[in-house]
Amino acid sequence: MPSLHELMKTHEQEINSFQPAGAADLENYRIRFLGTKGIVKLLSAEMKNVAPDQRKEAGQMLNAFKTLAEEKYNAFADMKQSSGGNAPAVDITLPGTPIAAGTRHPLRMVENEIVSIFEKIGFSVATGPEIEDDWHNFTSLNMPADHPARDMQDTFYVAQNPDWVLRTHTSSVQARILETQSLPVRVICPGRVYRNETISARAHCFFHQCEGLYVDKNVSFADLKQTLYYFVTEMFGENTKVRFRPSYFPFTEPSAEMDISCTVCGGTGCNLCKHSGWVEILGCGMVHPDMLRNFNIDPEVYTGFAFGMGVERITQIKYQVNDLRLYSQNDVRFLRQFRPA
């Protein structure tokens, strides 16, 4: 029978060359060497057969053997909990790998802000189709086929149907609302619009507008002014000043353009306001009586105001973005700058 010493030598070789293929292999090793009926236990039991004068030395060897067997096992400890294979165990106490979250597009953020400002004073959201017919985009808005105002908006026509256009403004939603809803109406209409413009820093073939419409009895220009003044102070801060300049839109009379005091220089003059102290932000006016008549609304009984603003313009003023193309290039370096804090 081999001596305890010889047995240990043989097993030492086995331990040294052991290389687990996976968790199951490692577990077999543990049972074979370190288990309750394992080799370490069996060899310990052999101690009683060792001559008393050799026990001390044999005991030391056995301890060294046990340490060797345990160290080998511990060296592969990271395999222990895994369900198999060589994959390292997952430490579920570590913080997770962060997942890069997307952000809202700056135009959508500003659009949401515009909409919620108007929602606070009783406007509800209305939307309409981007492919629009001539009636809703032009004719019902007081722009018959030969009306020169059509030139203000270079239009994309849809090849399949000469009556269809890509809507040139969200005023088409005004028309649809007056056609379908009973009065009074108070709506805000955000949406994408299209114009046949050469793409540059200042013009694009599509952009976004937010239209507002309020029709009721006794709606006056004073209501329009107060509503827009409220909007501006909510959007740009209490100290913002407004001014109205007479303008022309076929579907409003009187019509105006509204400027706000420059948010960058406060009115002293800078690049944004082209050194005038004012920046234009929207067009507005009292709904034209003829337009009301187009929808069988009696202009002697009902009056209304409408306004339309470019979301890109508001965003440009708010964030000083000076190239329109940035909005649609989807460069994450641009988009990431609008991540909420």
Give the residues lining the site for ligand PHE (CB under 6 A).
169, 171, 211, 249, 252, 283-285, 306-308
Q: Is the CB of 40 or the CB of 228 nearer to ligand PHE?
A: 228
- Nearest distance from residue 272's CB to ligand PHE, in Å? 20
- Nearest distance from residue 280's CB to ligand PHE, in Å? 11
Q: Is the CB of 168 or the CB of 261 nearer to ligand PHE?
A: 168
- Nearest distance from residue 169's CB to ligand PHE, in Å? 3
Q: Residue 212: which H helix or E strand, with range?
A: strand 206-216
Q: Is the CB of 11 or the CB of 288 nearer to ligand PHE?
A: 288
Written as one letter, the residue type at 269 is G
Q: Is the CB of 4 or the CB of 228 nearer to ligand PHE?
A: 228
Closest residue to ligand PHE using C-beta atoms: 308
- Nearest distance from residue 96's CB to ligand PHE, in Å? 48
Which is nearest to 216 in space by CA: 202, 207, 227?
A: 227
Radius of gyration of the chain (CA): 39
Only one residue has tokens 């659009």, namely: 111
CA-CA distance, 339 to 101, in Å (whole number)? Answer: 10
- Nearest distance from residue 257's CB to ligand PHE, in Å? 8
- Nearest distance from residue 170's CB to ligand PHE, in Å? 7
- Contact 40/58 with Cβ under 8 angstroms? no
Q: Is the CB of 39 or the CB of 258 nearer to ligand PHE?
A: 258
- Nearest distance from residue 323's CB to ligand PHE, in Å? 21
Q: What are phi and psi of 33, to 5 degrees?
A: -100, -40
- Torsion angle of alpha carbons 279, 281, 283, 286, nearest 10°? -100
Q: Which two tokens stand for residue 279?
A: 């920046």
- Contact 75/20 with Cβ under 8 angstroms? no
- Torsion angle of alpha carbons 195, 193, 285, 147, nearest 10°? 40
Only one residue has tokens 């082209």, namely: 274
Q: Is the CB of 65 or the CB of 307 nearer to ligand PHE?
A: 307
Q: Is the CB of 23 or the CB of 210 nearer to ligand PHE?
A: 210
Which is nearest to 142 in space by CA: 230, 252, 16?
A: 252
According to DSSP, residue 157 is labeled: B
Q: Is the CB of 214 or the CB of 236 nearer to ligand PHE?
A: 214
Q: Is the CB of 29 or the CB of 307 nearer to ligand PHE?
A: 307
- Nearest distance from residue 134's CB to ligand PHE, in Å? 15
Side by side, the strands of the sheet bearing 206-216 are 124-125, 185-194, 206-216, 303-310, 278-287, 252-261, 242-249
Q: Residue 304: which H helix or E strand, with range?
A: strand 303-310
- Nearest distance from residue 138's CB to ligand PHE, in Å? 11
In this structure, are strands 164-166 and 131-133 parallel, antiparallel, or unpaired?
A: antiparallel
